[in-house]
Amino acid sequence: MAMYTPASLLLILVVVAAELHSPTFASHVASSSCIPHEREALLAFKRGITRDPWGFLVSWQRGGEDCCKWNGVVCSNHTGHVLKLQLGTYSLVGQISHSLLSLEHLEHLDLSGNSLNGSSGGRIPEFLGSMNSLKHLDLSSIPFSGRVPSQLGNLSNLQYLDLSSSTQNSLLRSTDLSWLTHLQFLQYLNLCAVNLGAVRDWALAVNMLPSLKVLEFSRCSLTNANQSLPRLNLTNLEVLDLSGNLLDHPIASCWFWNITHLKHLNLESTDLYGPLPLALGGILPNEMGQLTSLNFLDLGQNSISGVIPNCMGQLTSLAYLDLSQNNISGMMPDSMRTLTGLVYLDLTYNNITGPLPSFVGLFTSLSYIDLSYNHLTGHVPREIGMIGNLENLDLTSNNLDGTITEEHFASLKSLRCTFSKAMYLNISNNQIHGGLPENMERMSVQQLYLGSNQLTGAIPPMPISLTTLDLSGNLLSGPLQ
């Protein structure tokens, strides 16, 4: 019998430990067959799929290669347990099998964009609430119907939950969101288009989620803004989307102005009303000015009145600003000149007066600007020609006058409509006079609307890229070149 000294025993232990942790050993573990009962669970899940048009699950076969190498399956390199199922948007048809309960270590489940509503009467399976290891659950764009199961509140480790629908006609609903309060680690919550019309305390429920960073409640049939939050706990919230709900509340007293870390705020079509000054610098002093991290603000299609407050200029991180289709009056304040990072500006269908300020030339990042259907007066500033990235310019139906010169078009080489991807320029229905600049043929515009102005003189050569041209209602002469 061989005798080992303490030193030799220690050396042997070190060698064995090194071997266990070597890449070769690790790859051997990773390349060995996955956990047998988890393989059977995956095969049982596949049996519940009645249609796989892309053949995504073809690799899922009994007696085939390691199930950790199957499409959409991610296993632990150390234990072989299945950690992730990434099966989103593969047009799978069928049902969600109970066999998933055997994947006790599953942390990430993405079944989004499939038609996996063939079980439980088209409802979200309640047994998903027993998958305690889940941190990420994405069931978005699955045509579920019925009630959101409160059992999802048992997923105490959950960080990401998406039950949203991409359609307007989602049949998914919830009458009580108290189950959310158990998800203390939740960072992302998307219930867009889930009917929450019967939930009166939705803000109180989400206010109990201190880790929340993203809250998407668009088109949820919410009917109130729940102003009675005793204490705001959403100190980490960065994205808030409540668009398409009927909040029907004065914008001045909404609780979300106090979320100072917000980067994205979408309140489009929420029936908010009242003057902006009260909300942004009056009753709640400079709340809007405190949102210095905000880079996306959409208040379009509401009943907001009053003027654009000076404190808007404090939002120097803004890249997207939409105040369209409101009752905003007055001039664009000079304080807006600090918003040099703007890429998208939409103030259409308001009652904005005064001149189009020359400081728009400072917005060199702008690709989209729509100031149509207001009461702007004065000349179109030549500085607008400095916005070299502009793709869409719409100034139609104002009271602008003056002439259009070569300087206006100095840098406007890339005008293009954001929606149709066609080049777009519209200054129709104003009082622009004088002749058209001779260098217009060098533009790459495809849609040009200058109708109903007071333009005179000969029609210069037009760009060869032009597909739509409206010069009607002017006093131009000569052939179209």
Mean pLDDT by 10 residues, the chain (481 residues): 43 41 38 82 97 96 85 95 97 97 98 88 94 98 96 98 88 96 98 95 93 97 76 93 92 82 96 67 47 93 90 91 96 95 97 95 92 95 84 92 68 46 78 87 85 93 90 92 73
Containing 23, the helix (H) or strand (E) segment is: helix 23-31
The pLDDT of residue 423 is 66
The pLDDT of residue 249 is 85
- The pairing of beta strand 303-307 with beta strand 273-275: parallel
The pLDDT of residue 442 is 77
Query: Phi and psi at residue 34, in whole multiples of 5°?
Result: -70, 175
User: Which of 254, 260, 322 is CA-nearest to residue 291?
Assistant: 260
User: Which of 356, 363, 419 is CA-nearest to residue 386?
Assistant: 363
Return the structure tokens found at 201.
Answer: 């305390």
The three-class DSSP label of residue 236 is coil
Rounded distance between C-alpha atoms, residue 365 and residue 360, angstroms? 10
User: Which of 282, 285, 279, 283 is CA-nearest to residue 297?
Assistant: 279
Strand positions, DSSP E, 47-168? 49-51, 73-75, 82-86, 93-94, 108-110, 136-138, 145-147, 160-162
Return the structure tokens found at 262.
Answer: 């917000």
Distances 118 to 55, 167, 170, 463 between C-alpha atoms, Å? 19, 19, 16, 56
Rounded distance between C-alpha atoms, residue 452 and residue 201, angstroms? 52
Burial of residue 140 (CB within 10 Å: 0-12, 13-18, 19+) is buried
Q: Rounded to an integer, what is the distance from CA 352 to the centroid of its chain?
A: 28
The pLDDT of residue 183 is 98
Return the structure tokens found at 168.
Answer: 């307007």
Q: What is the CA radius of gyration of the chain?
A: 30
Rounded distance between C-alpha atoms, residue 244 and residue 242, angstroms? 7
Rounded distance between C-alpha atoms, residue 272 and residue 252, angstroms? 9
Question: 33-116 falls under which CATH superfamily?
Answer: Ribonuclease Inhibitor (3.80.10.10)
Q: How many CB atoms lie within 10 A of CB 233?
A: 15
Output the CA torsion 360→361→367→371 (10° steps): 30
Rounded distance between C-alpha atoms, residue 246 and residue 230, angstroms? 23
Rounded distance between C-alpha atoms, residue 286 and residue 289, angstroms? 5
Rounded distance between C-alpha atoms, residue 287 and residue 289, angstroms? 5
Rounded distance between C-alpha atoms, residue 380 and residue 476, angstroms? 20
The pLDDT of residue 33 is 64
What is the model's pTM?
0.86
DSSP code of 123? S
What is the 3-state composition of the chain as percent helix, strand, coil, each rounded to the nearest 5?
A: 25, 20, 55
End-to-end CA distance of the chain: 105
The pLDDT of residue 120 is 67
Query: Phi and psi at residue 206, in whole multiples of 5°?
Result: -70, -25
Strand partners, 431: 401
The three-class DSSP label of residue 225 is coil
